[in-house]
Amino acid sequence: MVSYDELRLLNKIESPADLKGLSREELYELADEMRRYMVSTVAKNGGHLSSNLGIVELTIALHLCFDFSKDRLVLDVGHQCYPHKMLTGRAKQFETLRLKDGISGFPKTTESIYDAFNVGHSSTAASAALGILRAMRLEGNTTDRVVAVVGDGALTGGLAYEALDDAGEKELPFIVILNDNKMSISGNVGGVSSHLSKLRTSKGYKRFKRRFSGHLKKIPLVGKGISNSLERLKNRIKYFVLPNVLFEELGYTYAGPFDGHNIEELVTILEHAKKNVTDKPMLIHVMTDKGRGYAPAQEDPERFHGIGSFDEATGKSKSGLNNSKIFAGALCRLAEENEKIVAITAAMPTGTGLSAFRDRFPNRFFDVGIAEQHAVTMAAGMASMGVRPVFAVYSTFLQR
């Protein structure tokens, strides 16, 4: 068990301003202390672990560059707020996480001036942050900044795109950080995106492209046509593999991807955004490792996304049966008897217990992503055809 008093650096951080007095080496040492403290506390109290372990350096960099007592930080879902709470005067209280009369596991405006918005749902950060920014401008505040941190998983929800599309058409200094931990939309394109972004911006590539196109156009009769065809093909491929194209089409300046665990690199791009984002929104793509620093969470980040108490040394859960496991077992037994039964989840197969159903009946399991509205209506369509859909969802997610 790690106690607050034994953390050499963290117990000196009373506000984000104290970060500026730390050296480069001390900032990374602080990140390590925060992770150890986080693992120890969540092992005892339960909570969201893997996402918080992945966002430590990004949170440090954000607080180094912005003053969120005036600027505003909106975290999507909010369950990755643990490092933010530690750096904003609540490190000592962190041991009371999720306990009666303790601190909340989510941002809470009544808990701290650094918590800009009460959140608990996915895909809402961009909308809330845009609303805050517009309210600031209505009040004549043109100096303070608003930053939305959106996870790649949140981009499976349509609400996120509605907000991004709205902001992209306006001349607003809106800063969006895409925290891409490769757990959802970008697992198979992050590395390709990084490589191709570097390739197509390199001097050598541009020189080759210019010369090759020039030689093609010199071929009598067909050269220009071949060159144009290759250009169209290149553009089609680009739209399939490069995420920056989507954001640029929405009206954003795209930057990235950046190493989400390199504090110096993060500070450089955040300072650039702070100074230069004035009349066009910017999206900063950051790659992070979910579960970083704790081997069991790195090996199984889904299980440690939201977890009850567990053994810190082994990562094994202390509890046995729970409601989700009992529900899943009953549903699997019913599905054995009735082939019309199908199961639907909105990106929560483990939390709802449906991963067991998925493993046994893969063709009768549907994960629609963070799209509860779609899941309900799709289930109705299935039912109209005689199928027996079971949509397992946390009740709070039906408030949308």
The residues assigned a catalytic role are: 290, 372, 400
**What does the buried/exposed string (b/e) look like for 208-236 if buried means 16 or more CB atoms within 10 Å of the residue's CB?**
eeeeebeebeeeeeeeeeebeeeeeeeee
Q: SS3 for 28-90, per residue?
A: HHHHHHHHHHHHHHHHHHCECCHHHHHCHHHHHHHHHHCCCCCCEEEECCCCCCHHHHHHHHH
Tally the C-alpha atoms within 13 A of residue 101's C-alpha that lie toward its C-beta. Answer: 0
CA distance 127 to 186: 22
**Angle at which helices 263-276 and 24-45 pack, to 10 degrees?**
100
Exposed, middle or buried: residue 352 (CB in 10 Å: 0-12, 13-18, 19+)? buried
CA distance 284 to 257: 7
- Amino acid 372 reads E
What are the residues whose beta carbons fall under 8 Å from the beta carbon of 360, sequence distance 6 or more?
A: 332, 335
CA distance 367 to 374: 11
